[in-house]
Structure 1
Amino acid sequence: MTGQREKLLGAALDFLGAPRFVTALTTAIVGVAVLAFPIRQLSGWAGLIGALSVLVLLAAASLIARWGTLEWRGLLPLSLLVFLGWTAITLVWSQYQWVSLAALIYLLAFTVLAFYVALLRDTIQIVRAFGDVLRLVLGISIGIEILSGVLIDAPIRFLSVQGNLADLGPIQGILGNRNDLGIVAVIALITFGAELATKSVPRGLAIGSLIGAALCVLLTRSPITIGVVIVVAIATGLLYALRRAPAENRRYWQFALLGVLAIGLVLAWVFRSAIITVLGATEELTYRLDVWYRAFELISLHPLEGWGWIGAWRIDLPPFNLFADISPRFETTASGALVDLWLQLGLVGLVIFLALAGLAVTRSWLLASARRSVVYVWPALVLIALLVNALAESSILVEFGWLAFVVCIVKAANQLSWRQAFARLDNSEPNRDG
């Protein structure tokens, strides 16, 4: 009897650790993360939490099955652990502790799933998983916009689809609003471009996917998304130039780019009004300034420690109920991740997040500019897209945005971990006692 149980356990571990199972689970994780909004709308919180619970259990079991083959040293960046630790500490003074606890568990679930994806998949495999999911999501989004805006000519309210396709947008797809669809379409552009460059999918499929993603970007008519696309395009050009530069001169070009970046930021601030006008973002800015003004009034009451983590706001709870009347389009966030972080986690949490993001971008940028394979460009560009979008949206803090963010920073930290560097140095030293 014992022997039969051991055989069954061994068979289960082999199944859970098999490459095909890991591939399928990775695709399911990315799919549930990006489709969290329609899943919640169709099946309620119970359906989404149920799906996440199953994925976390399967990911944990799969990690156990692969335990002996994994190198754990330096896999989780300390900056990420510090951020999660501070987020947990805010439960102590949160005025909505049970909601904070639920929000923390929700955040940790996506963190665990992101860690699983980053740990068990190579970067090219992650790109393929994201590509397969995003092709499906954008395809469904265009399809439902055709149904709503052309075939039945009526909004689909439970999915927040307004049916504006006949007027060439703005469209929301199945993601709830145009800005969320926009950032997903931008990440899709980066992903499909990486697939094309690495020849990991047929050329026709990659080009068709790029055209579809670009169409979604344009149809969102989102000034925020257009701004992100411009920054990502500039970053892509700079990385292309750096990758072609001689290795011995690359460091000097990096410092030159830092200077150019500083000048560019100063010029962007000086000419901010003109940029906002050109992007057609005046209405968006007016709305956000109203939200930020009220948020800073609350921040001033708890500037260092914040009010406590909540993720997406609950407008039935104080102090977030003070924002409920701000606009018919109010979207339960501070419409800016930095403001959201300061409000929820205080200045301490904001500084920790900025350090986390800064280290992640630096590591991924160095890898993208120095490694031969073009696939290393993907995490760098995705991080840049997410962080630029974070200036006007809070999607990086929840669900798909957080999953993609953690996947990229874990992959970058895994490649440029100082703890792994020290481990390699220790292993390379001769045994002086012998």
Structure 2
Amino acid sequence: MAVYSKHPASAPPTAPVREKTGHLLLRGWCIFVLVTAFSGTAWVNAFGELVAAIIAIASAGLSIALWLAIRPVVQWRRLPWFAMSYILWAVLSLTWSAWPLTTAITLLLLLITTTQAFFVAAVLTWREIIRSIGAALKWVLALSIAFELWVSLFVQAPILPGFVVEKADDPIMYWSRDNLFDGGRIQGIMGNANLLGPIALLAIVVFAIRYAARAPRRAVLLVWMALAAFLFVRAASATAIVAAAGVVLVLITVLLMRRTTKPGQRTRYYIGYAVVGLGGGLALWLSRDAIFSALGRGADLTGREDIWKAVLARADERPVVGWGFATPWAPWDPAFDGWIIDHGQTVMQAHSLWVDVYLQLGIIGLVLMSMLLLAYVWRTWFFAVDRPRWDLRADRPYSPLTLLPTLVGAILLVQSIAESTPLLLWGWMLLMLFGFKIKQSPHIGVGPAEERLAIEQGELTKRDA
């Protein structure tokens, strides 16, 4: 039998550090939380509003219980304070809201989403957060294509929410239009092509970043990117296409910034970035007739200009504090029921973050939201372009993982013009998650929270993406 020498030259071999079952379950729970945010209205379409509400409230309760049990390291002085100020102002709007019940219900949704975002950011490291986001997006994409295949192969007819096969008065009412094999727009499990498109774009970004970070099973990541690209094309969302152009512009600029060696070299890139960004935005607006016609949309952004006029007219009646928080609008509330009709359905948002905030929280809300987004863009930008440094060493390599928060910001800023997505669901989730995490851990793998979690999860020996 082999016997170790009494005078070994090195330590005896040991098994690699493995994650504990408890942590694997915790990460699985975080993935479920992210899937719920990314899937949008899937729970509502499948099981109804009551079941979706129960799932949201119960999941938030479980996350709070886990947070209290785990007690992750949190620097409470380093919270995203502009976000907290906006949330506080939204809560205060209960005192003057013209639709108090809607305000109370939607505030609960806002607080649940914020809590879940902080929870995921507090209990996972940067690497695990991006890994979990990728896993959650895989679930959403896989379920979307499986759902569309099931409808086309077995149902062979459009279906309404609740798995009801019945002819609708307008195609907008369908959960799935059975378009997978006829070349039409597909909607995925969220039942809306304008929700599926940005999620597919986000998935392409996340998978590409993980591929660049040399994550395990890179060939499989290429397959997932191909599926995401397919769903992105088939969703044919105009705002998602414009957001993709914004992502490319920001990515190119960040990579150029990383190549600079002197502070003054960045100035020319900032000027060029501003010129291209402002010029591109102006050209897009002036050429919107041709561009949106080519994308199969009207020059008025599929009726959005009419919606904005109606919303702004009401918002101007209470310009300072607004009418009260309501994201999304409750279609059963008398204040919204039948107010703005599109394709026979009551509209549930202003289709613009800025118009929505002005209606709900007035000029004060607009200022707070502007500061929130400015702080997010500022921190994520320098998180991406600055070389990681916390001591005298100035030659540490850049990490591809630091690109994700700023590219997410690009997607949400573009969407904020024609959608209210950054105010709810995955948009608000990622704004809060990355905003919280950057404040707590401004360097990947460095700092009290990151190091403690890395030790607990065995990441000190496996720095994968």
Aligning the two structures, in what range does the TM-score lie when normalised by the shorter sequence?
0.7 to 0.9
Q: Is the 8 A contact 2:74 2:440 kept in 1?
A: no
Distance between the aligned counterparts of 1:328 and 1:166, measured in 2? 27
Q: Is the 8 A contact 2:75 2:440 kept in 1?
A: no
Query: What is the DSSP-based 3-state SS (H/G/I as helix, E as strand, rest coil) of the residue aligned with 1:391?
Result: helix
C-alpha displacement at 1:274, in angstroms? 4.2
1:131 lines up with 2:134 in the alignment: yes
Q: Is the 8 A contact 2:102 2:333 kept in 1?
A: no
Identity %: 27
Give the 3 Å change call, closer, same or farther, for CA 316–52 of structure 1 in structure 2: closer
Which residue, 267, 285, 291 being the options, matches 2:307? 291
Match of 1:177?
192
C-alpha displacement at 1:252, in angstroms? 2.4
Give the 3 Å change call, closer, same or farther, for CA 250–53 of structure 1 in structure 2: farther
Deviations 1:227-258 (A, max 9, x none): 11111122112222222222544542453245
Match of 1:313?
329
Which runs of at least 4 in structure 1 moved beyond 6 Å after TM superposition? none
Amino acid at match of 1:141: S
Give the 3 Å change call, closer, same or farther, for CA 148–42 of structure 1 in structure 2: closer
Give the 3 Å change call, closer, same or farther, for CA 247–411 of structure 1 in structure 2: farther
1:343 lines up with 2:373 in the alignment: no
Query: What is the DSSP-based 3-state SS (H/G/I as helix, E as strand, rest coil) of the residue aligned with 1:162?
Result: coil
C-alpha displacement at 1:296, in angstroms? 1.2
Deviations 1:180-221 (A, max 9, x none): 011111111111111111122311111111111111110012
Greater CA deviation, 256-265 or 83-92?
256-265
Distance between the aligned counterparts of 1:316 and 1:115, measured in 2? 31
1:84 lines up with 2:100 in the alignment: no
State the TM-score, normalized to the length of structure 1. 0.86
Match of 2:348?
332
Query: What is the DSSP-based 3-state SS (H/G/I as helix, E as strand, rest coil) of the residue aligned with 1:334?
Result: coil
Greater CA deviation, 365-374 or 32-41?
32-41
C-alpha displacement at 1:41, in angstroms? 2.5
> What is the aligned residue count?
403
1:409 lines up with 2:435 in the alignment: yes
1:300 lines up with 2:289 in the alignment: no
Q: Is the 8 A contact 1:140 1:174 kept in 2?
A: yes
1:234 lines up with 2:237 in the alignment: no
Q: Is the 8 A contact 2:260 2:266 kept in 1?
A: no
Distance between the aligned counterparts of 2:59 and 2:86, measured in 1? 23
Amino acid at match of 1:374: P
Give the 3 Å change call, closer, same or farther, for CA 56–274 of structure 1 in structure 2: same
Query: What is the DSSP-based 3-state SS (H/G/I as helix, E as strand, rest coil) of the residue aligned with 1:158?
Result: coil
Amino acid at match of 1:240: L
Give the 3 Å change call, closer, same or farther, for CA 17–202 of structure 1 in structure 2: closer
C-alpha displacement at 1:161, in angstroms? 0.6
Distance between the aligned counterparts of 1:119 and 1:250, measured in 2? 36
Match of 1:391?
417
C-alpha displacement at 1:82, in angstroms? 0.6
Distance between the aligned counterparts of 2:345 and 2:100, measured in 1? 27
Distance between the aligned counterparts of 2:269 and 2:94, measured in 1? 41
1:156 lines up with 2:159 in the alignment: yes
Query: Structure 1 unaligned runs (5+)?
Result: 1-14, 422-434
Amino acid at match of 2:324: G
Amino acid at match of 1:365: W
Distance between the aligned counterparts of 2:342 and 2:55, measured in 1? 33
Query: What is the DSSP-based 3-state SS (H/G/I as helix, E as strand, rest coil) of the residue aligned with 2:303?
Result: helix
Query: Structure 2 unaligned runs (5+)?
Result: 1-18, 163-174, 388-397, 448-465
Deviations 1:375-418 (A, max 9, x none): 0100110121122112111122112221122112222333569x
Distance between the aligned counterparts of 1:84 and 1:350, measured in 2? 12
Match of 1:365?
381
Distance between the aligned counterparts of 1:184 and 1:213, measured in 2? 8
1:256 lines up with 2:271 in the alignment: yes
C-alpha displacement at 1:81, in angstroms? 0.8
C-alpha displacement at 1:150, in angstroms? 4.7
Which residue, 202, 208, 223 being the options, matches 1:208? 223
Amino acid at match of 1:347: I
C-alpha displacement at 1:149, in angstroms? 3.3
Which residue, 190, 209, 214 being the options, matches 2:205? 190
1:113 lines up with 2:139 in the alignment: no
1:65 lines up with 2:69 in the alignment: yes
Amino acid at match of 1:309: F
Which residue, 140, 143, 149 being the options, matches 1:140? 143
Give the 3 Å change call, closer, same or farther, for CA 330–237 of structure 1 in structure 2: farther
Q: Is the 8 A contact 1:360 1:412 kept in 2?
A: no
Which residue, 381, 395, 408 being the options, matches 1:382? 408
Distance between the aligned counterparts of 1:148 and 1:41, measured in 2? 14
Which residue, 20, 26, 48 being the options, matches 2:30? 26
Q: Is the 8 A contact 2:341 2:347 kept in 1?
A: no
Distance between the aligned counterparts of 1:93 and 1:70, measured in 2? 37
Amino acid at match of 1:97: P
Deviations 1:18-54 (A, max 9, x none): 5324312211110222234121223323322222233
Query: What is the DSSP-based 3-state SS (H/G/I as helix, E as strand, rest coil) of the residue aligned with 1:95?
Result: coil
Match of 2:370?
354
Greater CA deviation, 266-275 or 31-40?
266-275
Distance between the aligned counterparts of 2:210 and 2:355, measured in 1? 35
1:97 lines up with 2:100 in the alignment: yes
Q: Is the 8 A contact 2:80 2:436 kept in 1?
A: yes
- State the Cα RMSD in Å: 2.5
Determine which structure has the larger helix proportion and give its number: 1
Q: Is the 8 A contact 1:39 1:47 kept in 2?
A: yes
Give the 3 Å change call, closer, same or farther, for CA 123–247 of structure 1 in structure 2: farther
Distance between the aligned counterparts of 1:355 and 1:131, measured in 2? 29
1:37 lines up with 2:37 in the alignment: no
Greater CA deviation, 150-159 or 268-277?
268-277
Which residue, 49, 54, 74 being the options, matches 2:53? 49
Amino acid at match of 1:409: G
Query: What is the DSSP-based 3-state SS (H/G/I as helix, E as strand, rest coil) of the residue aligned with 2:247?
Result: helix
Q: Is the 8 A contact 1:146 1:165 kept in 2?
A: yes
Amino acid at match of 1:310: A
Give the 3 Å change call, closer, same or farther, for CA 71–38 of structure 1 in structure 2: closer
Distance between the aligned counterparts of 1:380 and 1:186, measured in 2? 14
Distance between the aligned counterparts of 1:288 and 1:116, measured in 2? 35
Amino acid at match of 1:352: L
Greater CA deviation, 100-109 or 154-163?
154-163
Give the 3 Å change call, closer, same or farther, for CA 59–280 of structure 1 in structure 2: same
